Amino acid sequence: MEKPLQVFCCYARTDQKYLYKLKDHLMSLQHENLIEIKADIDIKPGKEWRREIDHHLEGAQILLLLLSPDFIGSNYCYHHEMQQAIARHKQGTACVVPVIIRFAQLLGKGHL
């Protein structure tokens, strides 16, 4: 049996409700063992948060970017997570999938 694709979700903390909804929608794929979806909420207490994030950013085959004005406005999300994801995408080692969760606000602020 093949290993499931590793999926990692990058999002701004204020958008956590969207992360939960996305995980709900993808759960059937996880139940079928096609994907294993992770986010920072899956990091166990006592683990070094940033090291765990980097581990997932470096190892996941699919990187989902939950885009919102808060994601774009976050130094960590924009300058660390998104840049690392894009670099892996350009190298061909991961597929980056942008998921626009608050499009109208993004468009209104001129980020697209």
Q: How far apart are CA 43 and CA 20, in angstroms?
A: 15
Ordered by start, the domain boundaries in the chain are: 5-108
Q: What pTM, to 2 d.p., does this model score?
A: 0.86
Other beta carbons within 10 Å of 91: 8
Helix (H, G, I), strand (E, B) or coil at 28: helix
- According to CATH, the superfamily of the domain at 5-108 is Toll/interleukin-1 receptor homology (TIR) domain (3.40.50.10140)
Higher pLDDT among residues 44 and 110, named by residue: 44
C-alpha distance from residue 40 to each of 91, 106, 107 (Å): 24, 23, 27
Q: Which residues contact 31 (CB under 8 A, 6 or more apart)?
A: none
Question: Which position has the token pair 């999938």?
Answer: 97
Segment 27-52, tens digit of pLDDT:
999 999 999 999 999 988 888 989 99
pLDDT(111) > 50: no
Amino acid at 56: H
pLDDT, tens digit, 9 for 90 and up, residues 56-109: 999 999 999 999 999 999 999 999 999 999 999 999 999 999 999 986 554 445
